[in-house]
Chain A
Amino acid sequence: MKLSMIKKFKDKKINSFLLWGLILTGIMLLIVVIGIFWTPYDPTKMSASEKLQGISLRHILGTDNKGRDIFSRVMYGSRITLGIACGTMVIGAGLGTILGAITGYFGGFLDEVFMRIVDAMLAFPSILLALVIVSLFDSGNIVVMVALGIAFIPSFARIVRSEVLRCRTMDYVENARIQGASDFRIIFRHIMPNITGVLWSSVLIGFNNAVLAEAGLSYLGIGSQPPYDSLGNMLSSAQQFMVKNPICVLGPGFAIVWMVLGFSFLGEGLRKKA
């Protein structure tokens, strides 16, 4: 079954980047989905007798300093990291697209003001911007999601705006206008479908950046709060005893790498195919 599927991919000229991206992302999503219903152990259950164990059949990725099963915690942490990244993209790409489309389409003074604000926000690297927003409120999953989402708005607004600017003067837009379509309809029914390609590849890149930024923020201790740790939290708390049990940092660390690698392969594959 699997082999024939791979063969089918090859026949369709799906490149190896896309194939590996699908495999890596597929396995990761599968593990995360399973983790919603079942984990080998309770990710928050501590056990004094099973501290800092290495790889074994009982605990495939060993245990941490409180005797918690690392594989279960990675399953759980990946879900949080992935969830925050998804939320970030919904907020960032969603609002960014709407704002960029509207300002790009109408132009004028509002557009000028908006672009200055976007420039101002782009002067901050996204992790710094999120850091500022989190510092103004409190830490926690929702705040991190909103903060990262806001931090991602400018780049999406920029991309969509320039695409809309390019499409605005094209014949089909003019045509729709003559037919009496409203501005709203022209933007979302006529222009949008023509820029989805650009949008999707930036969403994939943005998604990776969101995963990395979330992991970075939780690593700094301002992301999600214990005991419901994301992968970044696990890394920062495991750093103290990594000499005794390196798997404690390698497990969650490679989970992040796996996740990012899968998506970047997917993006690369889609780009090459296009």
Chain B
Amino acid sequence: MKYILKKASMMVLTLIAVSILVFLAFNLIPGDPATRILGTEATESQLQLLRQEMGLNDPIYVRYLRWIWNFIRGDLGESYSYGSVSALILDKIPITIWLAIMAFFLMFVISIPLGIFTARHEGGVIDKIVVVLDQVIMAIPPFFSGIIITLVFGLTLQLFVPGGFVSYKIDFWGFIGYLVFPAIAIALPKITMCVKLLRGSVIEEISKDYTRTAYSRGNTTRGVLYRHVLKNAMIPVITFMGMALADMVSGSIVIEQVFNIPGIGRMLLSSINNRDYPVVEAIIMGIAILVMVVNLIVDIIYRLVDPRIEAIND
């Protein structure tokens, strides 16, 4: 408990650092938001009025504190072209979250059985094939596998209609169906890494003394594997999965572009292109918070799985 509190306060410190970095980055760049909203035709007095209204004339730390206070209250500011940022993000966020969850689910159900299987049959034919295949798939960037999937499953086999995205508000199952292939594209590289990690980890644990002890006490292979080995072998995998979940959210930026999915990623890209900085700021802060919360959760799970860590750190 003490440890969790310590970690959580560390996280808050890091979050403050992130928010300062993000705020400074977007407020020190040249360009005047007032001019951006009113256009270059506006008169100086109009600009002044808007700047006053937006509080742009205040010193920078006042602006930072106001921004962060609004952020905490859930008011993410106004987009230069679409109105409230909060409403915009709330509308898009389920799409990206579902995509990440589906990719994570795929990774979980495929890589864990495959990792255990290849470790148990180390050196066998299937193991050898999986190891080589693993390396090859790992080298394929997700957007390229996305393109290949579109080409093969979308355009040739016509299992889905590329660009035929339906909103979750209209047809939820159609929406999930459309996300299956993008989720595969995001999950593929993570699956390969996870299989490799788990396989190595299980093989390492199997060779340790406690495994032999467990065997000699009359346990079956199955019992040793699931009750003893896997508990230890899963520890590095849990860390990896936490990182992978965060990566999947950012990976969806590219994949949303490949499959024409109007999620957070596409919004981020179009906001970057339109220099709509309030939206960019909000999305980046959101992703940073997500990553840190996931890290914290991983830390906590870690302690639950492996009580030894507690003994070392406290």
A→B interface (CB under 8 Å): 116-117, 119-121, 123-125, 127-128, 131-132, 134-136, 208, 212, 215-216, 219-220, 222, 235, 239, 242-243, 246, 249, 253, 256-257, 260-261, 264-265, 268
Contact = CB atoms under 8 A, between A and B. Distances in A.
A246 B144 CA distance: 12
Contact of A123 (B25, B26, B139, B291): B291
Given A222-B272, A243-B155, A260 B144 contact: no
Contacts of B22: 132
Interface of B: 13-14, 17-18, 21-22, 25-26, 29, 135-136, 138-141, 143-144, 147-148, 150-151, 155, 246-247, 250-251, 253-254, 257-258, 268-269, 272, 275, 280, 284, 287-288, 291-292
A127 B250 CA distance: 8
B142 to A, nearest CB: 8
Contacts of A260: 138-141
A127 B257 contact: no
Contacts, number: 105
B147 A239 contact: yes
A220 B284 contact: no
Contacts of B18: 120, 123
27 contacts: A120-B18, A120-B21, A123-B18, A124-B287, A125-B246, A125-B247, A125-B250, A125-B291, A132-B280, A134-B272, A135-B272, A135-B275, A135-B280, A136-B29, A215-B141, A215-B144, A220-B253, A235-B147, A243-B151, A243-B155, A249-B144, A249-B147, A253-B148, A256-B144, A260-B138, A261-B135, A261-B136
B143 A235 contact: yes
Contacts of A246: 151
For the complex, would chain A's binding face be called helix, strand, loop or mixed by DSSP majority?
Answer: helix
A119 B141 contact: no
Contacts of A256: 141, 144
B17 A116 contact: yes
Contacts of B140: 253, 257, 260
A84 B18 CA distance: 27
B268 A117 contact: no
